[in-house]
Amino acid sequence: MRGSYWEPVPAGAAGGLFHQIGPCCRLGGSSVVVAVTRADVVRVRLERSGFMVAAADTVADPATPWVRFAVLGAPLEGSVRVVFELADGTTAAPLADPLNLARAGG
């Protein structure tokens, strides 16, 4: 995914919260954002100026129980803050910088 962030996290590791996150492509007037997260991330939110612009629950794949997946559609322009909701009820912002949605492929 062009413009994505990659954080290698071995299976069962307690380190980072995601394996990969970023805009993968455009669909109509939206940027499609894909997140591959650690297993305890239950929801991914995209926020702009304090308002949620997209959210999706993560889903598991029985073949890879140490990760979960989310696919979100967000307005194409600008950048968003990524927020993860964890199974224990806490939240975390895993990226130091906003995610640039304009970097999505065609």
pLDDT digits (tens, 9 = 90+) for 68-103: 999 999 887 789 999 999 999 999 988 888 888 876
In the chain, the number of structural domains is: 1
Whether the predicted pLDDT of 4 surpasses 70 = no
Name the residue with higher pLDDT: 45 or 104: 45
The mean pLDDT of the chain is: 83
CATH of the domain at 35: 2.60.40
- Three-state SS across 45-78? EEEECCEEEEEEECEECCCCCCEEEEEEEEECCC
Q: How far is CA 43 from CA 35, 38, 47, in A?
A: 10, 11, 13
Task: Compute the distance between CA of residue 86 and CA of residue 68 in angstroms, rounded to an integer.
Answer: 12
Q: What is the mean pLDDT of residues 41-64?
A: 93
* Residue 104 pLDDT grade (very low, low, confident, very high; cuts 50, 70, 90): low
Structural domain containing residue 14: 5-103
Section 30-54 average pLDDT: 92
Residue count (the chain): 106
* Span 8-33, pLDDT tens digits: 444 444 457 888 888 888 888 889 99
User: Tokens standing for 47?
Assistant: 């926020």
Q: Report how far residue 53's alpha carbon sits from residue 73's, in angstroms, rounded to the nearest whole number.
A: 9
The reported pTM is 0.82
